[in-house]
Structure 1
Amino acid sequence: MPFKARFFMALLGACLLLAPTVLNADVSPDAYRQPPVHWPAMNSSNPSAQELAPLPELPDVPWHTPQTEQLGYQLFFDPRLSDSGQIACASCHDPDLGWADGRRVAIGHNRQAGSRNTMSILNAAYFKQLFWDGRADGLLEQALAPISNPLEMNASLPDVLTRLNAIPGYQDAFAYAFGSERIEAKHLAMALAAFERSVVSRPNRLDNFINGNYQALTDQQIHGLHLFRTQAGCISCHSGALYSDGDFHHTGLSYYHRKYQDTGLEQVTGQAKDRGKFRTPSLRDLAFTGPWMHNGLFPSLRGILNMYNAGMIGRTQLHPELPPLSEHIQPLHLSSAELDALEAFLSTLSRQPYRRPLPTLPDYPQSHGNN
């Protein structure tokens, strides 16, 4: 190629790199640098999809008090709730690992491996149904389930209550929190759930952007936001303040009649139409909760984006006993640059999780000591 031609091509490339990002022929980044009510319209296959938003305050519940939260904090990290005396709730929900465990699947009693990836407890209080298959209706029902699960803490709940009732420090703490002389299962559930209600995400860059800091996102990240809400269709399932609709969808990852088979929601409802459906996980703080999906088989976000871009795995080869894929899953035909933008946007949804400082409590009698 002649020198002049090479020079012209290099100059053209430099100009393109310096040119402002354009989302498409009609939308520029400035279309998003304003309150969400003025953003371009969503293009969602889900009529119930809600606009992305910061987390609201949780409503008050009578059993969540400073006393029950403090008590739940201590119980959450106490391995005496397990049969072996070696596994605490925090063993699988580590605050340094996004309140999950960083493993493909959970490791529980006697080093047994579970079949599913550990869901983070971040923002769990906002969901109506918990676990990948929705088998628990809220935190009060969820809180005690791992204690008696043979693959997790493998304890007898009556034995755990007997053990707690024999510890003078816990006797005093439960009496102070609940006004009861005996520690009962409902008290244990309330205390653990009260603590879990306090584990919430910190405002991330998208939250700051929505709240008026319009420099919190780059042009590329805004491009990804636009794709998330329109062409990529992510908002059909990952919407609202949780970036999740809380619903159950079949995405083709049940591995039906293969290694890693998991039929999901069907195990709870017993209905074939629910075979292979799993609850939409929240995308808040997803950078800290990998590996991803219910089976933890996916360590790369880009790999997951590539699957959705193709319309998911085995779309045309579904087992005849499986229901069709979710209507929200279609081949997207996104370019490499568009996938880059979408991945850049996803990076704005995470901020290192923390648990708000424990409440300051007045002293209560501990006449027996804290054993």
Structure 2
Amino acid sequence: MRRTLKLFAAAAALLAGSGHAAEVPAPPDMAALRALYAGPPDRWPRPVLQPGAVFAEFGPVPAVPEPASNRSTPEKVALGEMLFNDPKLSGSGQIACASCHNRELGFGDGISTSFGHDRQRGKRNAQSLFAAAWMTSLFWDGRAQSLEAQALASMTNPFEMAADPAAVVTLIAADERYTLPFSRAFGDQLMTADHIAQAVAAFIRTHKPRFSLWDRVIRDGTKAMSDPQLRGLHLFRTKAGCANCHNGPLFTDQRFHNIGLSFYGRRLQDLGRYEFARLPADVGAFRTPSLRGVSRTGPWMHNGVFPQLRGIVNFYNAGGVQLRRRPEQANDPLFPATSPILKRLDLTREERDDLVAFLETL
């Protein structure tokens, strides 16, 4: 599997590197560019968007939303941290939430696709938790509508933690280390799997993107950026088209898009949101991930196909993957169509370098 993904990434990089522009355009006038981006984001040049894109302006990260049914308290967060790191939440007693969401790895696990119960290799990459608190749907396919639901789904998924909720409650209740923390968090209420999920969710909601150069830009202006970083920002919003999907304070439209990486009809096939929603239009569609902290959360894409940011830029420069029907797929009603938002970009090498420089500010 890894060999196939590496070959695919290499092919995309070669394709993107073979742009047919005969001449390298002159770099933009930096004084003029800095003047354009001198104010706050709502005064910057409007982004260049494709039909169907939904754009929200960049800005500071908002306050963490909390459901009325699970208000956060320091006691609940402390309990959630204990549970997040405890392998008792898995059927084998060997896998914790932190196994795939490691604080030292940007709350991911640093590998293309994660290992689960009985060392089963999953088909999807463990997403960072930096922006999870703000997501309106969770998992790559959006099948969970809250962090509480996500926590329970991961615990019970036979390919992930493979736990029986009743057995987990029994184990946690029998552990004296949890007696006082649980009482402080939930009073005299009976311990339940829902309470465990609520505590874990409360802990996850304390995670937020680390303060970065981008936060300085939002606070103090683009004078904090180098010339390559500023050129990359301008490209991100214009020629490169990144802002079509990666926008708003968290750099995600929270929508689902097919960029051509479903491997439809092949060994590594992943139907994306279709596996949950069962709508033909969702075949191969995955939720747009947040780009906050992106340089610390690789490898990237739902299948971890790209180990370097430059590979991602090359992939989009090539226009993603446009699948072609084989003869036997001529009348296949589920054959996926790559999003029309993706276009071949013909970015120069310097422009691709500038985009990477900008992504590293996030």
Q: Which structure dedicates a bigger proportion of its chain to helix?
A: 2
Q: Which residue of 2 is the match for residue 346 of structure 1?
A: 359
2: CA distance between counterparts of 1:76 and 1:323? 37
1:50 aligns with 2:56: yes
* Higher-Rg member (1/2): 1
Instruction: After TM superposition, list the pairs within 5 Å mapping 1:121-140 onto structure 2.
Output: 121-140=129-148
Q: Which residue of 1 is the match for residue 46 of structure 2?
A: 41
Q: Which residue of 2 is the match for residue 177 of structure 1?
A: 185
2: CA distance between counterparts of 1:323 and 1:314? 9
Q: Which residue of 2 is the match for residue 296 of structure 1?
A: 304
After TM superposition, the score normalised by the length of structure 1 is 0.84
Q: Once structures 1 and 2 are overlaid, which stretch shifts more, 208-217 or 76-85?
A: 208-217
Tell me the SS of whatever aligns to 1:194.
Answer: helix
2: CA distance between counterparts of 1:27 and 1:51? 21
CA contact (8 A) 1:64 1:190 kept: no
1: CA distance between counterparts of 2:218 and 2:176? 49
Q: Which residue of 2 is the match for residue 243 of structure 1?
A: 251
1:333 aligns with 2:341: no
Q: Which residue of 1 is the match for residue 211 of structure 2?
A: 203
The amino acid across from 2:131 in the alignment is N
The amino acid across from 2:229 in the alignment is Q
Instruction: After TM superposition, list the pairs within 5 Å mapping 1:210-229 onto structure 2.
Output: 210-229=218-237
Tell me the SS of whatever aligns to 1:144.
Answer: helix
CA contact (8 A) 1:21 1:29 kept: no
1: CA distance between counterparts of 2:160 and 2:217? 40
The amino acid across from 1:37 in the alignment is D
Instruction: After TM superposition, list the pairs within 5 Å mapping 1:284-323 onto structure 2.
Output: 284-314=292-322, 321-323=334-336
Displacement of 1:327 in angstroms is 2.2
**Structure 1 residues 317, 307: closer, same or farther in 2, change over 3 A?**
farther
String of CA shifts for 1:71-96, please: whole Å, max 9, x gaps.
Answer: 00011001111122211110110000
Q: Which residue of 1 is the match for residue 35 of structure 2?
A: 30
Instruction: After TM superposition, list the pairs within 5 Å mapping 1:68-79 onto structure 2.
Output: 68-79=76-87
Aligned residues: 329
After TM superposition, the runs of 4+ consecutive aligned structure 1 residues lying more than 4 A away are 315-320
2: CA distance between counterparts of 1:213 and 1:315? 42
Displacement of 1:259 in angstroms is 2.3
2: CA distance between counterparts of 1:305 and 1:123? 22
2: CA distance between counterparts of 1:72 and 1:289? 23
Tell me the SS of whatever aligns to 1:74.
Answer: helix
1:278 aligns with 2:286: yes
1:117 aligns with 2:125: yes
Displacement of 1:141 in angstroms is 0.7
The amino acid across from 1:334 in the alignment is L
Q: Which residue of 1 is the match for residue 115 of structure 2?
A: 107
String of CA shifts for 1:211-261, please: whole Å, max 9, x gaps.
Answer: 124332111111110110111110000000110101000110000011211
**Structure 1 residues 307, 210: closer, same or farther in 2, change over 3 A?**
same
Tell me the SS of whatever aligns to 1:211.
Answer: helix
Tell me the SS of whatever aligns to 1:339.
Answer: helix
1: CA distance between counterparts of 2:217 and 2:302? 30
String of CA shifts for 1:254-305, please: whole Å, max 9, x gaps.
Answer: 0001121100000001111110000001111111111110011111221221
Q: 267, 280, 285: which is aligned to 1:259?
A: 267
Q: Which residue of 1 is the match for residue 170 of structure 2?
A: 162
2: CA distance between counterparts of 1:315 and 1:135? 25
The amino acid across from 1:57 in the alignment is A
CA contact (8 A) 1:21 1:28 kept: no
1: CA distance between counterparts of 2:284 and 2:222? 40
The amino acid across from 1:330 in the alignment is K
1: CA distance between counterparts of 2:298 and 2:73? 32
Displacement of 1:172 in angstroms is 2.6
Q: Once structures 1 and 2 are overlaid, which stretch shifts more, 163-172 or 195-204?
A: 163-172
1: CA distance between counterparts of 2:66 and 2:40? 29
Tell me the SS of whatever aligns to 1:215.
Answer: helix
The amino acid across from 2:217 in the alignment is F
Aligned alpha-carbon RMSD (Å): 1.9
CA contact (8 A) 2:264 2:336 kept: no
* Percent identity between the two aligned chains: 45
CA contact (8 A) 1:23 1:223 kept: no
Q: Which residue of 2 is the match for residue 369 of structure 1?
A: none
Q: Which residue of 2 is the match for residue 13 of structure 1?
A: none
Q: Which residue of 2 is the match for residue 5 of structure 1?
A: none
